[in-house]
């Protein structure tokens, strides 16, 4: 797709310099710390002014419109009035850090306060209902929307592609469940040298609607107040930023750290030294001969010094000899499992869906009418995490399952779906739970697993970052069209043959719109890594192996090196023979970089060219600097399709041109 960026006018060059300005992603830089002011601001009529880092926020207590004035005197619109109106507000009462008031017609009580440099607004409802707020992207200066779909997107608000509807790959007209469809509970806007971050800690029950208005993308959040789901509270925190595209994620990292909710990979390694073997490792699910001891030896002979090897829980898992060989080689190895599905043992199509006793059907999640919630792919039912937690002290279903799965000596574990946004309300008698309760139960069992195993899960949401060492999926900005393509078994491939299922091994050409939505580098930004790099290791979805999408290989390799994240593979004997040398060359380049920076914070991201084709990241205090050229022309000596990485201890950059990697 052709670029929608304007020509390089003088004004555009100045804008580029602003966006490309190097930044240290510290709390102070992004206006999220150092301003926990005791001042309660001022109140004149319906105008409540509160101090925030980088300026002043102004809340209209009559409509919930929010504006701001930066320290440089610039006026910003942070939110329009709440959609649909709120009714006449009640009296405003001053508090130590702000004010509180109500909207009696909607049954809402509101507090607004200045907290750690942010504007924090909470709404509590005394009845079920909803509110459409904040209304964002309405400032005429809003230039780009940041959206944490997978790793992250930065979308110019006037871009024609994204202003199209979802059927054409765009965003207009779509609604995203914040708790399920976004990898982080946030979004943001850049306004040149200024910007705003929106955090919604109460993500369950919150959605984000995207609309194209006058050719510009706008967003409106909505929250459903539901006593049964325990979502009667809604919170939004606003922070002023410097307009850098990853600033909202830096704001969120600071938010998590301030509340003791940010995991630390160094600490996880101290607690379980095996976690350290993730540093420098590529990831691969193995099939056929690749899951044997000789297959492992082949990897080692190729010069691969670190790998995470996973295998399905079918009738032919990795045996003890293969696991021993993997561990001797310095690799991590573990099974795929899921605690989420139950089927009748007499007809179950997967061993992971077979449970003892009456787990099926007694543990099935139930709807309000008592019927079971059908499991993934129309198979069996989804199983209640609360039912398992209640039974575990006496029955040990999960502990026994895990013990059986790692009897071959495996030191890692991939627990499918537990860390995703897909959580459930359960009406089943004796194991009732809300979606938030489901999260709590999942976190409890993942915490137990992580004590002795290197634990990973699928498309990890940020709330799971403290218990996981790695995840597969949050690196992929999935567009809905991907699921449609995967359902076409003719194009995507099915589950045969058993030793190399085409669903994983068959190369696929993505439609142009889908390729743009997922992998066009000018729209990609490392929001997830900015928030969570150094907490866990993030990779792409396992059915999207590096070889699955041949036309995206170079871009995906450059993104992996730029973001300091591993590539994910599926391997069988022939693939290992044919593609092994290339994989080994890429892993050899990645390994020392990730060993040095995998536990560090991503501290800088910037574009070096106006067309966004050349991008740079920095990790830690200069521990690692990476420059990737996604274009076709050289930039300051760096050829198109190549990446330079420089460790602090290096005399000169290390160069990789993925298309030329051949071992």
Q: Is 82 helix (H, G, I), strand (E, B) or coil?
A: coil
Residue 603, classified by CB atoms within 10 Å of its CB into exposed (0-12), middle (13-18) or buried (19+), is buried
- CA 265, distance to chain mean position in Å, is 17
Inter-axis angle of helices 293-301 and 573-597, to 10 degrees? Answer: 60
Q: Is the pLDDT of residue 32 over 50?
A: no
8 A C-beta contact, residue 59 and residue 272: no
Nearest Cα to 659, choosing from 639, 637, 645? Answer: 639
CA–CA separation, 110 and 133 (whole Å): 13
Is residue 29 over pLDDT 80? no
pLDDT, tens digit (0-9, with 9 covering 90-100), for 460-487: 999 999 999 999 999 999 999 999 999 9
β-partners of residue 624 are 619, 647
pLDDT, tens digit, for every residue of 190-208?
999 999 999 999 999 999 9
* Dist CA 116 CA 254 (whole Å): 10
Global confidence as pTM: 0.95
Residue with tokens 């990292």: 253
pLDDT at 338 over 50: yes
Residue 98's SS3 state is strand
Containing 553, the helix (H) or strand (E) segment is helix 553-563
97-116: pLDDT as tens digits: 999 999 999 999 999 999 99
- Residue 301 CB coordination number (10 Å): 11
Residue 283 near residue 569 (C-beta atoms within 8 A): yes
pLDDT surpasses 70 at 91: yes
Output the DSSP codes for 346-390. TT-SSGGG--STTHHHHTB-B-TTS-B-B-GGG-SEEBPHHHHHH
Helix (H, G, I), strand (E, B) or coil at 657: coil
Strands (E), 359-496: 381-382, 412-415, 454-458, 470-472
- How distant is the alpha carbon of residue 27 from its chain centre? 20
The DSSP symbol for 99 reads E
- As a whole number of angstroms, the distance between CA 365 and CA 339 comes to 13
The SS3 assignment for 184 reads coil
- pLDDT tens-digit series, residues 489-518: 999 999 999 999 999 999 999 999 999 999
12: pLDDT strictly greater than 70? no
Cα separation of 370 and 379, whole Å?
Answer: 18
């Amino acid at each position: 797709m052709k670029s929608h960026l304007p020509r390089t006018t003088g004004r555009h060059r100045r804008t580029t310099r602003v966006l490309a300005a190097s930044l240290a992603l510290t709390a102070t830089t992004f206006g999220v710390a150092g301003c926990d002011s005791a001042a309660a601001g001022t109140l004149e009529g319906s105008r409540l002014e509160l101090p925030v880092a980088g300026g002043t926020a102004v809340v209209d207590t009559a409509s919930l419109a929010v504006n701001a004035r930066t320290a440089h005197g610039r006026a910003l619109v942070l939110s329009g009035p709440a959609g649909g109106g709120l009714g006449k507000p009640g009296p405003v009462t001053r508090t130590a850090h702000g004010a509180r008031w109500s909207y009696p017609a909607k049954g809402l009580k509101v507090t607004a306060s200045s907290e750690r440099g942010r504007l924090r607004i909470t709404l509590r409802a005394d009845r079920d209902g909803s509110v459409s707020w904040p209304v964002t992207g309405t400032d005429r200066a809003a230039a780009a929307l940041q959206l944490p779909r997978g790793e992250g997107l930065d979308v110019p608000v006037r871009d024609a592609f994204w202003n199209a509807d979802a059927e054409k790959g765009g965003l207009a007209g779509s609604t995203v469940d914040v708790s399920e469809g976004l990898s982080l509970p946030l979004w943001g806007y850049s306004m040149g040298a200024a910007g705003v971050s929106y955090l919604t800690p109460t993500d369950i029950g919150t959605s984000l609607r995207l609309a194209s208005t006058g050719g510009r993308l706008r967003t409106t959040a909505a929250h459903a107040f539901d006593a049964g789901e325990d979502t009667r509270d809604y919170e939004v925190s606003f922070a002023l930023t410097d307009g850098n595209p990853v600033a909202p994620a830096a704001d969120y990292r600071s938010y998590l750290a301030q509340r003791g909710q940010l995991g630390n990979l160094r600490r996880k390694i101290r607690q379980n030294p095996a976690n350290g073997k993730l540093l420098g490792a590529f990831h691969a699910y193995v099939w056929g001969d690749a899951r044997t001891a000789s297959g492992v030896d082949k990897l080692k002979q190729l010069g691969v010094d670190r790998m995470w090897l996973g295998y399905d829980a079918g009738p032919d898992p990795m045996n003890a000899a293969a696991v021993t060989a993997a561990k001797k080689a310095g690799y991590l190895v573990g099974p795929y499992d899921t605690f989420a599905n139950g089927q009748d043992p007499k007809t179950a199509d997967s061993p992971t869906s077979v449970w003892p006793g009456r787990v099926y059907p007694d543990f099935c999640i139930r709807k309000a009418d008592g019927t079971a919630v059908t499991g993934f792919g129309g198979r069996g039912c989804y199983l209640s995490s609360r039912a398992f937690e209640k039974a575990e002290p006496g029955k040990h279903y999960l502990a026994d399952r895990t013990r059986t799965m790692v009897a071959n000596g495996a030191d890692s574990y991939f627990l499918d779906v537990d860390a995703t946004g897909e959580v459930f309300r359960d009406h089943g008698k004796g194991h009732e739970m809300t979606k938030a309760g489901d999260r709590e139960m999942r976190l409890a069992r993942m915490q137990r697993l992580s004590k002795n195993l290197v634990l990973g899960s699928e498309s990890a949401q940020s709330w799971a970052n403290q218990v996981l060492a790695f995840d597969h999926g949050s690196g992929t900005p999935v567009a809905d069209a991907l699921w449609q393509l995967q359902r076409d078994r003719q194009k995507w491939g099915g589950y045969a043959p058993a030793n190399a299922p085409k669903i994983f091994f068959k190369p696929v050409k993505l439609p142009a719109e889908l390729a743009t939505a997922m992998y066009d580098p000018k729209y990609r930004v490392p929001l997830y890594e900015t928030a969570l790099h150094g907490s866990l290791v993030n990779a792409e979805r396992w059915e999207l192996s590096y070889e699955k999408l041949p036309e995206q290989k170079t871009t995906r390799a450059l993104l992996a090196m730029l973001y300091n994240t591993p590539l994910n593979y599926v391997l069988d004997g022939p693939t290992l023979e044919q593609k092994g040398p290339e994989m080994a060359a890429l892993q050899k380049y990645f390994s020392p970089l990730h060993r040095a920076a995998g536990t560090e914070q991503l501290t800088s991201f910037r574009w070096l060219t106006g067309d966004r084709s050349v991008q740079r990241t920095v990790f830690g205090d200069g521990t690692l600097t990476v420059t990737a050229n996604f274009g076709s022309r050289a930039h300051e000596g760096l050829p198109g399709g190549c990446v330079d990485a420089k460790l602090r201890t290096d005399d000169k950059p290390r160069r990789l041109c993925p298309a030329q990697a051949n071992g």
